[in-house]
């Protein structure tokens, strides 16, 4: 009988060392050059280690970097859309052959890398290739432009996955590795699993799309991103409270799982949609929801650009099926959730609120219309707004 989808590249990577090796590396790290990782780099290191970035076993070398930027493929041929780089200032770059200690932003020793390659960080290639813009105001582009001018690559050994187990975004019970989600899917008897990516609370339109997808698969993985996000996004702990409240009342526990993805947002729109799909394939999902303006920001991408990009790649090689959904909302004329495919468009019919309007309601302690947001979700957001802890600062 056919089992779960195979990891990207065929093998699930695991770079997490055992306790004995971790103790030895801690002692050795005292004499190694030190690299202080950014939040994005720390997230990337966790996903390399836990297999979320399979088949990567370390930060990318130049051949992979060039191939990903130009061809959306690793140098070995697998589809891949976003470079995973360890960039540093040239003056701080250790020599090839060195062993370097990698410290998370909070000062925890996260891993050790053997430097196999050193190459120039070609930002003039990366930024327009990945973000489809060179505007330094784009949050992902700005982040890359601020990074170091030299990249280091090589295999890593990782001591810990969650570097801050007491932190507000640890979510230890829901911080499952790809190996753990795969084991859970097998325990449930799921062969096909659809993943839903979000960096926002789930409103009624999201819920409608999720449940449509849920009808054609064995199981659902709601997989919110809890790594680094930009200022002004809703905090991860608030989002998780809202998701948990929604799932508890409105989803079937026999066919639904909620775990977290410790990835950093790039806000790269179309390319990031592929990036998100590859990670969910590694977590064991066979299908991936791609909605309106997936991973977008501002007006940098067209409404459905993140769906169109899947027409430009080899879906067989990608190995996970994208499920493309149009904009959905509550139709007053129909009396329920619809999309342009299921009900004729009528001027002023869909209940659709802007982000600004929703925020104004929340800060006044008022729930958005029930056709837009479940009251349980709204109450979590209202409480966070009143406490001044709704947004990333």
Task: Kindly name the residue from 132, 199, 266, 280 that is annotated as catalytic.
Answer: 199
Residue-level pLDDT at 202: 96
> Which tens digits make up the pLDDT trace of 166-186?
988 899 999 999 999 999 999
Tokens read off for 202: 């789930």
Residue-level pLDDT at 355: 83
- Say whether 36 is catalytic: no
Residue 237 and residue 212 in contact, taking contact as beta carbons nearer than 8 Å: no
Name the nearest CA neighbour of 377 among 339, 390, 168: 390
Residue-level pLDDT at 279: 98
How far apart are the C-alpha atoms of 165 and 169, rounded to whole Å?
Answer: 8
Residue 5 and residue 320 in contact, taking contact as beta carbons nearer than 8 Å: yes
Half-sphere exposure of 259 (CA within 13 A, CB side): 24
How far apart are the C-alpha atoms of 272 and 113, rounded to whole Å?
Answer: 26
Task: Kindly name the residue from 36, 71, 200, 352 that is annotated as catalytic.
Answer: 200
How far apart are the C-alpha atoms of 295 and 81, rounded to whole Å?
Answer: 13
Residue-level pLDDT at 92: 87
How far apart are the C-alpha atoms of 154 and 41, rounded to whole Å?
Answer: 14
Residue-level pLDDT at 356: 86
How far apart are the C-alpha atoms of 118 and 133, rounded to whole Å?
Answer: 27
Name every residue whose Cβ is closer than 8 Å to that of residue 91 and which is 6 or more positions away in sequence: none
- Say whether 367 is catalytic: no
Residue-level pLDDT at 178: 98
> Which tens digits make up the pLDDT trace of 304-355?
999 999 999 999 999 999 999 999 999 999 999 999 999 999 999 999 888 8
How far apart are the C-alpha atoms of 101 and 174, rounded to whole Å?
Answer: 28
| φ, ψ at 107 (rounded to 5°) | 90, 0
Q: Tell me the average confidence (pLDDT) per consecutive run of 10 residues in the chain, 393 residues long.
A: 89 98 98 97 98 98 98 98 97 94 98 98 98 98 98 98 92 97 98 96 96 98 96 94 97 98 97 98 98 93 97 97 95 96 95 89 96 97 96 93
How far apart are the C-alpha atoms of 289 and 322, rounded to whole Å?
Answer: 6
How far apart are the C-alpha atoms of 265 and 200, rounded to whole Å?
Answer: 12
Name the nearest CA neighbour of 212 among 347, 345, 341, 310: 341
How do strand 99-103 and strand 109-114 relate by DSSP bridges?
A: antiparallel
């Amino acid at each position: 009988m056919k089992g779960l989808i195979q990891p990207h590249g065929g093998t699930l990577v695991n770079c997490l060392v055992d306790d004995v090796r971790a103790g030895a590396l801690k002692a050795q790290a005292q004499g190694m050059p030190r690299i202080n990782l950014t939040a994005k780099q720390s997230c990337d290191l966790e996903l390399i280690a836990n297999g979320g970035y399979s088949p990567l076993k370390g930060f990318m070398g130049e051949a992979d970097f060039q191939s990903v930027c130009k061809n959306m493929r690793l140098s070995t041929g697998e589809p891949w859309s976003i470079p995973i780089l360890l960039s540093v200032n040239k003056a701080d770059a250790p020599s090839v052959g060195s062993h370097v200690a990698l410290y998370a932003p909070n000062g925890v020793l996260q891993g050790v890398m053997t430097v196999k390659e050193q190459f120039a960080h070609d930002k003039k290639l990366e930024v327009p290739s990945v973000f489809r813009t060179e505007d330094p105001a784009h949050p992902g582009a700005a982040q890359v432009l601020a990074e170091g001018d030299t990249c280091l690559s090589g295999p890593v050994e990782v001591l810990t996955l969650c570097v801050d187990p007491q932190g507000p975004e640890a979510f230890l019970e829901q911080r499952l590795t790809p190996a753990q989600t795969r084991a859970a899917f097998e325990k449930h008897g799921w062969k096909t699993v659809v993943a839903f990516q979000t960096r926002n609370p789930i409103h009624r339109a999201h819920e409608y799309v999720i449940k449509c997808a849920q009808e054609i698969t064995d199981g659902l993985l709601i997989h919110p991103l809890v790594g680094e996000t930009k200022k002004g996004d809703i905090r991860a702990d608030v989002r998780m409270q809202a998701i948990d409240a929604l799932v508890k009342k409105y989803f079937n526990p026999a066919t639904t799982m909620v775990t977290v993805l410790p990835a950093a947002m790039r806000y790269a729109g179309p390319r990031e949609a592929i990036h998100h799909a590859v990670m969910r394939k590694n977590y064991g999902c066979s299908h991936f929801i791609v909605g309106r303006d997936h991973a977008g920001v501002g007006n940098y991408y067209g409404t459905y650009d993140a769906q169109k990009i899947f027409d430009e790649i080899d879906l067989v090689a990608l190995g996970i099926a994208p499920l493309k959904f149009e904009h959905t909302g509550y139709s007053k004329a129909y009396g329920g959730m619809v999309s342009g495919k299921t009900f004729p468009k009528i001027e002023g019919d869909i209940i659709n609120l802007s982000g600004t309007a929703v925020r104004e309601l929340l800060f006044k302690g008022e729930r958005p219309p029930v056709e837009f947001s479940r009251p349980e979700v709204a109450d979590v957001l209202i409480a966070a707004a009143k406490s001044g802890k709704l947004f990333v600062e």
